[in-house]
Structure 1
Amino acid sequence: MSLLELPSTRAEAWRWADLGALSAAAALAPVAYGQADHFLDLPGARLLFVDGVLDAGRSELGPVVLADLSGHDHPLGRHAQGRGWSLRLAKDAAADPVQIVHVATGAENHLPAEIVLGGDATAQVIETFVGAGWSNRATMIRIGAAARLQRSVRLLQGAGFVSLREDVELGAGASLVAVFLGAGAAGSRIDGGVRVGQGGYAELGGALLTSGTQRQECAARVHHAEPDGQSHQLWRAVAADRSVASLAAAVEVARHAQKTDGEQSLRGLLLQRTATVNLKPELEIFADDVKCAHGATVGELDRRALFYMESRGIPRPRAQALLTRAFVGDALDRIADETVRDAFAADADAWLAALL
């Protein structure tokens, strides 16, 4: 893909984007992938995509079908069109968890997806990214009235870049809880837009863990279009060495979206002062009867806590790992499924063990 087709970092929404890493990832030479499937011990559908193509012999589709998808108007998402996966549940339906593993073996691959839930339907979708290359995804999500979706995404690629575009629309009283963890060595960009209907509930968050010269970023925007909606964004970033982690979270409240409750919590932790964490909370409110708040802080590990733990015989690397793990823990605790939550915690612990 030509650099001319990529967004410009002159645009505010892309000011921290590492587009050079994206282009380099698209040019990575082919690499082999093993037999590990990276699925968690859960019932339900299992889909394995290698370079954006379904490995039918190692997949069980369940309620998921393959379909031709299009319609994304986004600088990166528009490239992810064509054959993709679709999960559609009828009114009142409830499905076992759907697991999707994406393996990249070099170069670039694009894949669209859609999740459409009828009224009062319930679904859980877990996605995992591994390998090397540029993995580009665009997901359209429509959640009907009073339907509920739990979405968990693990970014574990060892090299390259992962770009995600999420377009979400919540119906009246619908609920979305989405948690992302960037714990691989690849660069990443999580780009989300959520429209909350009347009485809808949206919870977005997760943790970006960066080291070396790695760069990860998230740009999430929640638009409250109707009254009585709630949204909570809780993001954590941990940066080591000369890496960069960037979090931009915005809440928009339409003029007639009274009684909106919007909250943002952005926190960054620097493991070395050579690292960088960028935080940008943003509120744009046109209604006058709302409850909205945001907070953003960047700091280092508490030296007094480290001293106390060392004085009790805990080695310094272990003390640093415990404090860092506690820092990101509240972002991962939003995952309701214990098996998935434990997997995310293990991913964060593995990242810390390799670093400290």
Structure 2
Amino acid sequence: MTLLTLPSNREEAWRWADTAAIATAAGSARAGGGPAHDHFLDLPGDRLLFVDGELHPSSRLHRAEPARVVATTHALGGRATDSGWALRLAPDAVADPVQIVHLSTGGENHAAAEIVLAENAAATVVETFVGNGWTNRFTRLSLGQAARLQRSVRLLQSDGFTSTRDEAELGAGASLVSVFLGAGQAGSRIDGHIALAGDAGYAEYGGVLLTRGEQRQECAVVVRHAEPNGQSRQIWRAVAADQSQASLAARVEVARHAQKTDGEQSLRGLLLNRTAAVNLKPELEIFADDVKCAHGATVGELDARALFYMESRGIPSARAKGLLTHAFVADALDHIADEQVRDAFLTDAGAWLEQAL
């Protein structure tokens, strides 16, 4: 049994990381899995089921393929070296949606993925995490000129911890839209480094974290503009109830010659109880002088005036709170392009809100 060495909270990049929860989840016993197939959406295309990090024989593969992927030096992602999957598209190819369900039955499991889209290729990837234990994933993304990738990720584990590390490189005119939803009961860390390495690249990287009880979820994302005319959007929303904690750290780096960069960060937290906490850390590091970059960060409670207005129009208090909170969450999830995928994410968020409010 290898010694589990985890980053220290004394490191700035890991200041809010719940390493104790990772260690506990890694040491949990295998308890068997539930009906993972229920989490596939009714979409065409590949269906990959990973059980404790291993590709299940019931998986349906057409475009995707099993693969061993070169890992990263990242503290958690570097553990994902044994197994995984890959999607590689030729120029101008368009793939049906690729769905991956990650089922963990306890203990720790690791796997990697590689998505390589050649010039003008387009793909949609939907991932769902369920079960318990420590599920750890590393994904390397490489988008050629004018390639387009829509990636949607649901973190629905009922217990334990889910950690993801993405490392992406975008070519000229390439587009990456990644949306996350943390609506399970497990702790989580969403970790990413997105490099706009070609002229006029576009990246959206954001989502929603929903926490309750004593749960902790966090994201730590860096978007680097290395070439001119790039655009990036980091739109994150967090809702925290009870004694839980959600933490959002988003950073934009603009290289000296990356002129005409347009970068936006929007980090917003909503407290359902004053005993909960939302930590926000937006950062801009800009070395170019002809850019348009902005960030906003706010944490608060539901707008009392809006609640009063709705209640004065005959809407019950609980219903009014639900509508306002749902609108707050939908602001980030609306960036999912596929209507069926977006509806599924909104349904999961709605189910969480019904229990939390």
Query: What TM-score bracket applies, with the shorter chain setting the length?
Result: over 0.9
Do residues 214 (structure 1) and 211 (structure 2) align? no
Q: Say which SS state the counterpart of residue 255 (structure 1) adopts.
A: coil
- Count matched residues: 355
- For the Cα contact (< 8 Å) 2:322–2:354, is it kept in 1? yes
Q: Distance in 2 between matches of 1:252 and 1:232?
A: 13
1:118 match: 118
- For the Cα contact (< 8 Å) 1:214–1:243, is it kept in 2? yes
1:332 match: 333
Structure 2 unaligned regions, length at least 5: none
Q: CA deviation at 1:307?
A: 2.1
Matches within 5 A, 1:133-212: 133-196=133-196, 197-212=198-213
Q: Distance in 1 between matches of 2:234 and 2:72?
A: 24
Q: Say which SS state the counterpart of residue 348 (structure 2) adopts.
A: helix
1:346 match: 347
Task: Provide TM-score, normalisation by structure 1.
Answer: 0.98
Matches within 5 A, 1:70-109: 70-109=70-109
Matches within 5 A, 1:1-356: 5-37=5-37, 38-57=39-58, 59-196=59-196, 197-356=198-357
- For the Cα contact (< 8 Å) 1:81–1:110, is it kept in 2? yes
Q: Say which SS state the counterpart of residue 69 (structure 1) adopts.
A: coil
Q: CA deviation at 1:315?
A: 2.4
- For the Cα contact (< 8 Å) 2:222–2:253, is it kept in 1? yes
Q: Distance in 2 between matches of 1:252 and 1:126?
A: 28
Q: CA deviation at 1:36?
A: 4.3
Q: Distance in 1 between matches of 2:2 and 2:14?
A: 17
* Amino acid in structure 2 at the alignment position of 1:249: A
1:292-337 CA deviation, whole Å, 9 max, x = no partner?
1101000100112222222333222221111100111110000000
1:232-282 CA deviation, whole Å, 9 max, x = no partner?
110000000000000000000001111111110000000010000000000
Q: Say which SS state the counterpart of residue 274 (structure 2) adopts.
A: coil
Of all paired residues, the percent bearing the same amino acid is 70
Q: Say which SS state the counterpart of residue 344 (structure 1) adopts.
A: helix
- For the Cα contact (< 8 Å) 2:36–2:103, is it kept in 1? no
Structure 1 unaligned regions, length at least 5: none
Mean alpha-carbon deviation: is it higher for 30-39 or for 329-338?
Answer: 30-39
- For the Cα contact (< 8 Å) 1:70–1:82, is it kept in 2? no
Q: Distance in 2 between matches of 1:203 and 1:232?
A: 5
* Amino acid in structure 1 at the alignment position of 2:101: V
Q: CA deviation at 1:97?
A: 0.2
Q: CA deviation at 1:2?
A: 7.0
* Amino acid in structure 1 at the alignment position of 2:49: L
Q: Say which SS state the counterpart of residue 5 (structure 1) adopts.
A: coil
Mean alpha-carbon deviation: is it higher for 11-20 or for 35-44?
Answer: 35-44
Q: Say which SS state the counterpart of residue 68 (structure 1) adopts.
A: coil
Q: CA deviation at 1:10?
A: 0.6
Q: Say which SS state the counterpart of residue 176 (structure 2) adopts.
A: strand
Task: Provide TM-score, normalisation by structure 2.
Answer: 0.97
* Amino acid in structure 2 at the alignment position of 1:287: A
Q: CA deviation at 1:144?
A: 0.4
Q: Say which SS state the counterpart of residue 67 (structure 2) adopts.
A: strand
Change (3 A) 1:352 1:2: farther
Q: Distance in 1 between matches of 2:84 and 2:337?
A: 27
Q: Say which SS state the counterpart of residue 165 (structure 1) adopts.
A: strand
Q: Distance in 2 between matches of 1:306 and 1:350?
A: 21
- For the Cα contact (< 8 Å) 1:77–1:137, is it kept in 2? yes
Q: Say which SS state the counterpart of residue 353 (structure 1) adopts.
A: helix
- For the Cα contact (< 8 Å) 1:193–1:220, is it kept in 2? yes
Q: CA deviation at 1:3?
A: 7.2
- For the Cα contact (< 8 Å) 1:3–1:23, is it kept in 2? no
- For the Cα contact (< 8 Å) 2:227–2:259, is it kept in 1? yes
Q: CA deviation at 1:83?
A: 1.7
- For the Cα contact (< 8 Å) 1:220–1:250, is it kept in 2? yes
Q: Distance in 1 between matches of 2:83 and 2:253?
A: 33
Change (3 A) 1:144 1:31: same
Q: Distance in 1 between matches of 2:291 and 2:46?
A: 41
Q: Say which SS state the counterpart of residue 320 (structure 1) adopts.
A: helix
